[in-house]
Structure 1
Amino acid sequence: MVNEDSPSRGGPREWPYPQPSAIEQLGDMDRDDALAFLRQLRDLLMVHKFGVDELMTKLRIWSEEFDHAHEHDPIEHISSRIKRPEAIAAKLARRGLPVDPVSAREHLTDIAGVRVACKFISDVYLIRDLIRQHQIEIVQTKDYIAAPKPNGYRSLHLIINVPVHLSDRTELVAVELQLRTIAMDFWAAVEHELLYKSGGQVPETFAAKLKAAAEAAARLDAQMTSLHERSERASG
């Protein structure tokens, strides 16, 4: 089952960029510089959107195929996002890099993002293996399932190069693919909400309870995976 949704809180984001409000959000930039940056960035964001579209199509096909042929769809739901111009500018500035599209293309690998929630941990690695089998280049892997972050966060992060076939050329677009279970996704969503409401920091007691909740979610994942494997053996 694949449900596609936007991660933005106010509903789907309008396309194409830039939106007028983005000019005001490029705080420290002169208005003329901000306008020039947004206009130049437009093509880069469009190509990254195409990269997301390409990857989402592959994932939808695999989801339907597995549901039909194997009676088990490893994908529960998918979401995607394109980083906003003001967020791109802010990240470049924080790194001391030029705030321009060339710099963004060369140094940022998270302009385009796709997140997949799976039922079981084995499904997470199944999707990763499908990416490999179809010769889609994985340029970076961060396995926070095998080695969780100190706060308890778990997910498998891949930076992949997605080929985008334009009318006159083919471009490789970096897309950040996050693969996690439903339990991991629920924990991450709640943790993000708490951080958002607390201005980026949570009280120490909250942090300890969040980590304990992440460990409880991991135990639930392990139990559900065990039940799934037993069910598969019994039906096979």
Structure 2
Amino acid sequence: MERVKTFIQERLLPEEAEKLYQQGAKFEEIMMMYGCALREVQTKLEVLNDELSVRYNRNPIEFIKTRVKKPLSIVNKLQRRGLEVSIESMVENLNDVAGIRVICYFLDDIYDVARWLSSQDDIRLLQVKDYIKNPKPNGYRSLHLIVEVPVFFSKGRQMMRVEVQIRTIAMDFWASLEHQLSYKKDVPHSEEIGAELKECAEVISHTDQRMQEIREKIGIFTELT
């Protein structure tokens, strides 16, 4: 509670700070719940990867990253959308408070992981945005899922939303650099750098596709259904 109060007082605007501070304990509880939802999804993905490793000598997932949005990022996003800054507004309107990034080796792995995860009977798939088949104008590529997962607490089951981003190693490398350009202020020649990054995104996409084709020629993995 004291940690939340200090952060809010130091980093947020007075009006928004007061709103969140008044519900400090509730805010910390909901953040805990989002963290638990992340662990649920991460465990499902790790179990899947372990099973495929033993049964088929296949590991589609290279690594997994998780994060819960920081309070300042939550406030900024609500403000950008013209929404009320409150816990209720956050829960109702933001799908990416809890985020998990899944890094795969090959393009087919991305869609396989998405299919296996969303087919589990306790997972509810709410939304799919395919930025691989339909890249963003800046060249960004990734597959985004919004899922709901049940988390069991002492007071009962709660369905929690989690954003799942699935991409290749090369896509993740590109996205990390583009993120730095987007959030770093006053970068000299930012437009030229952005154009270079978009060109690199096309090269990476072509490389990912070629690596997929080479894998298929080698016949490394047995197709799973």
Give yes or no for TM over 0.5.
yes
> Which whole-Å CA distance do the structure 2 matches of 1:37 and 1:144 have between them?
37
Alpha-carbon distance change, 149 to 16 in structure 1, aligned in 2, over 3 angstroms? farther
Trace 1:96-111 onto structure 2 (pairs within 5 A). Answer: 96-111=82-97
> Which whole-Å CA distance do the structure 2 matches of 1:27 and 1:177 have between them?
30
Deviations for 1:80-132, whole angstroms, at most 9, x for unmatched residues?
A: 10011122122222322222111111111111000001000000000111022
Q: Is the 8 A contact 1:16 1:46 kept in 2?
A: no
Q: Is the 8 A contact 2:27 2:87 kept in 1?
A: yes
AA in 2 matched with 1:42: E
Tell me what 2:56 maps to: 70
> Which whole-Å CA distance do the structure 1 matches of 2:221 and 2:21 have between them?
62
Q: SS of the counterpart of 2:219?
A: helix
Q: Once the 2 structures are TM-superposed, how far is the Cα of residue 160 of structure 1 from its aligned partner?
A: 0.4
Deviations for 1:149-201, whole angstroms, at most 9, x for unmatched residues?
A: 11110000000001111122111111000000001000001111222334589
Q: Is the 8 A contact 2:37 2:149 kept in 1?
A: yes
Where structure 1 has 5 or more consecutive residues not aligned to the other structure, the ranges are: 1-14
AA in 1 matched with 2:21: L
AA in 1 matched with 2:65: S
Q: SS of the counterpart of 1:20?
A: helix
> Which whole-Å CA distance do the structure 1 matches of 2:119 and 2:103 have between them?
20
Trace 1:147-158 onto structure 2 (pairs within 5 A). Answer: 147-158=134-145
Counterpart among 36, 47, 57 of residue 50 in structure 1: 36
> Which whole-Å CA distance do the structure 1 matches of 2:203 and 2:58 have between them?
25
Tell me what 1:181 maps to: 168
Of 147-156 and 162-171, more deviation after overlay is shown by: 162-171
Trace 1:80-159 onto structure 2 (pairs within 5 A). Answer: 80-135=66-121, 136-159=123-146
Alpha-carbon distance change, 17 to 200 in structure 1, aligned in 2, over 3 angstroms? farther
> Which whole-Å CA distance do the structure 1 matches of 2:53 and 2:195 have between them?
39
Of 101-110 and 114-123, more deviation after overlay is shown by: 101-110
> Which whole-Å CA distance do the structure 2 matches of 1:124 and 1:17 have between them?
38
AA in 1 matched with 2:168: T
After TM superposition, which residue ranges in structure 1, 4 or more long, deviate above 3 angstroms? Answer: 30-34, 198-202, 233-236
Q: Is the 8 A contact 1:142 1:157 kept in 2?
A: yes
The two structures have a TM-score, normalised by structure 2, of: 0.90
Q: Is the 8 A contact 2:79 2:85 kept in 1?
A: yes
Where structure 2 has 5 or more consecutive residues not aligned to the other structure, the ranges are: none
Alpha-carbon distance change, 219 to 99 in structure 1, aligned in 2, over 3 angstroms? same
Q: Once the 2 structures are TM-superposed, how far is the Cα of residue 28 of structure 1 from its aligned partner?
A: 3.7
The alignment yields a C-alpha RMSD, in angstroms, of 2.4
- Percent identity of the aligned residues? 37
> Which whole-Å CA distance do the structure 1 matches of 2:130 and 2:118 have between them?
15
Q: Once the 2 structures are TM-superposed, how far is the Cα of residue 30 of structure 1 from its aligned partner?
A: 6.6
Alpha-carbon distance change, 43 to 216 in structure 1, aligned in 2, over 3 angstroms? same
Q: SS of the counterpart of 1:29?
A: helix
The two structures have a TM-score, normalised by structure 1, of: 0.86
Q: Is the 8 A contact 1:41 1:85 kept in 2?
A: no
